Amino acid sequence: MNVLRLFDDYLQDLARNLLIDLLGGSILGGLPTYRLADGLYLLIKTITLAYGAAYTALKAPGWISDKAKVKEMLVRAFIEAGVYVEKQRKDWGDGKMKPYRVFPTIERVAIAANCTTINLRLPIGMEPDLIERKAWVFQRVFGPTAELVNDRAGRFRLLIPKTLPAKIPYSLETAQAALQRTGGFALYIGEAYNGSVAVDLKQAPHVGLVGVTGWGKSTALRVILNTWLQVYGPDRLRLFLADLKMTEFGLYRGVPHVEGAIAVRRAEVVAMLAEVHEVLLYRQEMFHQAGAVDLDEYEELTGERLPYVAVCIDEVASLEGESAAHDILEEIGQLGRSFGIFLILSQQRVDREVMDGKLKNNLNVRIAYRMSDDMNSKMFLGTAAASGIDTKGRCYVKQATDTVEVQTPWLSPKEARAQVEDIKRRYAGVAKAPLLPPINPNIPQPVELNDEESADLRELLTALMQEEVPPHASA
């Protein structure tokens, strides 16, 4: 009875507060509303109870069955992965010893809006590395972003992210905060179920971005480049851009961070890479002189700040057969990180015919938008997940052994262009230090002559050639 009374008091309070919210305290307090209020309380209580009952009746089977479904899938994963301990027990019927399996105990299944969390306790006699080695099975059952976390002795947590929103508007503040959180020189990719995703290029310096046409690669490149341009000045970042499709990087023409012209022909890309190679060699020499092992140490020892250099090539497969370009890309892949030189290579497919194995191996951050087939997805990510992507701007980001599902924010070409125009205005007239030293005046260099100088030189040469040949020279 007491419980009912308490419940009724609670409803009475709820109804009173609601009435005061709706009608205002002074009206309700100032009128002789006893009867009216009693009637309203009753009505509101009835509605609240009916709503509560209907909500529970509709949701409860879902809660039960969703949890049951997760548990059933989990046991399937345990069986498939062999994550159990086999024991013997006496059969009650025939009295014979028979084997049985002990699975990890599912302590809790919590289904939240963005992630399902399962707490597991290992049975006595099971080594933790048995379940850790088989983490891939959970990814196969629950999706490639399922993550197994070792909490403490014998306790694990399996995190299963829910689907992400199909469209997220671009926000510079969000992107900037994500870059800052890494504490390094980072690249912002987008939003995962548990927050923003940015990778520190000082840890994982080279990025491969793949996906079939029309599913978000260009947008991703815009998000990456526009974030960089708005966060770093040309004193901190220089870009070498190559766009063999001639569709991507046009809007960055004239941006002070961009070195030289945007390369659009194979020969131009080769020349651009030769220049990046010069920068690498020059930095190698500078760091050697200063006794520094990498860019951070160089800056610490000399007090001189050098810009990071990012080389972005769209449709890198178009460089097939350009062995000089491939050699340079490989060298940057191996040495670039120490010298603050990073690669972002985008491509539609990754099979052997279009992407060199050595080049692919150097790409330690892999971003896959929708891919053409399971084989390409597996070759790039180690899972077929990217071929099943059905949302534009959705990708899987793989770094070391971790794969997360990410939605790239939507940044329209128009908005991107407006941001770029702002950047150009912000840095108009600001001088930037060259990446390579000025040419040494003591070393003869090719010079361009005007017409008059050319005529003088021609005259001089003719005179020299007409001079008599000394007798000993003709012997």
Pairing mode, if any, of strands 206-210 and 365-368? parallel
Report the distance separating Cα 247 and Cα 249, nearest Å: 6
DSSP structure string for 23-69: H-HHHHHHS--HHHHHHHHHHHHHHHHHHHHHHHHHHHHHHHHHHHH
Report whether 121 contacts 157 (CB < 8 A): no
Residue 139 or 218: the one with the smaller Cβ distance to ligand ATP is 218
* Residues within window 8-67 making contact with ligand ATP, judged by CB under 6 A: none
Partnered with residue 421 across adjacent β-strands are none
Nearest-approach distance from CB 265 to ligand ATP, in angstroms: 19
Q: Closest separation between CB of residue 348 and ligand ATP, Å?
A: 7
Which pair of structure tokens corresponds to residue 449?
Answer: 């002559």
Residue 138 binds ligand ATP, judged by CB under 6 A: no
Exactly one of 174, 387, 408, 419 binds ligand ATP (CB under 6 A); which one?
Answer: 408
Binding mask 341-380 for ligand ATP (x = CB under 6 A): ----------------------------------------
How far, in Å, CA of 19 to CA of 39, rounded?
Answer: 12
Residues near 338 by Cβ (< 8 Å), separated by ≥ 6?
A: 287, 293, 294, 295
Complex with ligand ATP: residue 105 or 171, whichever CB lies closer: 171
392 touches ligand ATP by CB under 6 A: yes
217 annotated as ligand-binding? yes
Q: Burial level of 281, CB count in 10 A (0-12/13-18/19+)?
A: middle
Give min distance, CB of 408 to ligand ATP, in A.
4
Mark residue 406 as left, alpha or beta (left: phi above 0; alpha: psi -120 to 50; beta: remaining): beta
Antiparallel, parallel or unpaired: β 394-399 and 402-407: antiparallel
Residue 349 Cβ vs ligand ATP, minimum distance, rounded to whole Å: 12
List Cβ neighbours of 353 (8 Å cut-off, separation of 6 or more).
none
- Beta strand pairing status for 206-210 and 341-347? parallel
Q: Check residue 318 for interaction with ligand ATP (CB under 6 A).
A: no
Q: Which is nearer to ligand ATP, 56 or 412 (CB)?
A: 412
Q: Of the candidates 90, 98, 167, 305, which one interacts with ligand ATP according to CB under 6 A? A: 167
Q: For residues 243 and 368, give the distance between their C-alpha atoms in angstroms, rounded to a whole number.
A: 19
* Nearest residue (CB) to ligand ATP, 215 versus 380: 215
197-209 core/surface letters (b: 16 or more CB in 10 A; e: else): bbbbbbebbbbbb
**Residue with the closest Cβ to ligand ATP?**
393
User: Which one, 190 or 340, has the nearer CB to ligand ATP?
Assistant: 190
- Closest CB 373 distance from ligand ATP, rounded Å: 16
Per-residue contact flags (x/-) with ligand ATP for residues 219 to 258, judged by CB under 6 A: x---------------------------------------
The least distance separating ligand ATP from the CB of residue 147, rounded to whole angstroms, comes to 23
CB of 393 to ligand ATP, least distance (A): 2
Question: Binding residue per annotation — 216?
Answer: yes
DSSP 358-408: HHHHT--EEEE-S-SSHHHHHHHHSSGGGGG--STTEEEEEETTEEEEEEP
213 is in an annotated binding site: yes
Q: Is 211 assigned to a binding site?
A: yes
* Strand order across the beta sheet in which 147-152 lies: 105-111, 115-121, 155-161, 147-152
Cβ closest to ligand ATP, residue 202 vs residue 217: 217
Minimal distance, residue 218 CB to ligand ATP, in Å = 3
How far is C-alpha 311 from the geometric centre of its chain's CA atoms? Answer: 17
Residues 197-226, interacting with ligand ATP (CB under 6 A): 211, 213-219
- Count residues contacting ligand ATP (CB under 6 A)? 13
Measured from the CB atom, the residue of 222 and 277 that comes closer to ligand ATP is 222
Which member of 145, 196, 410, 423 binds ligand ATP (CB under 6 A)? 410
Gap between the terminal Cα atoms of the chain = 132
3-class state of residue 308 by DSSP = strand
Any binding-site annotation on 233?
Answer: no
Per the listing, tokens 């025939």 go with: 94
Minimum CB separation of residue 252 from ligand ATP in Å reads: 15
CB nearer to ligand ATP: pick between 219 and 318: 219
Smallest separation (angstroms) from ligand ATP to the CB of 187: 15
Residue 160: phi and psi, rounded to 5, are -120, 100
Give the residue ranges of the annotated binding site for ATP: 211-218
Query: Which spans of this chain sit near ligand ATP (rule: CB under 6 A)?
Result: 167, 211, 213-219, 392-393, 408, 410
Give the residue ranges of the annotated binding site: 211-218
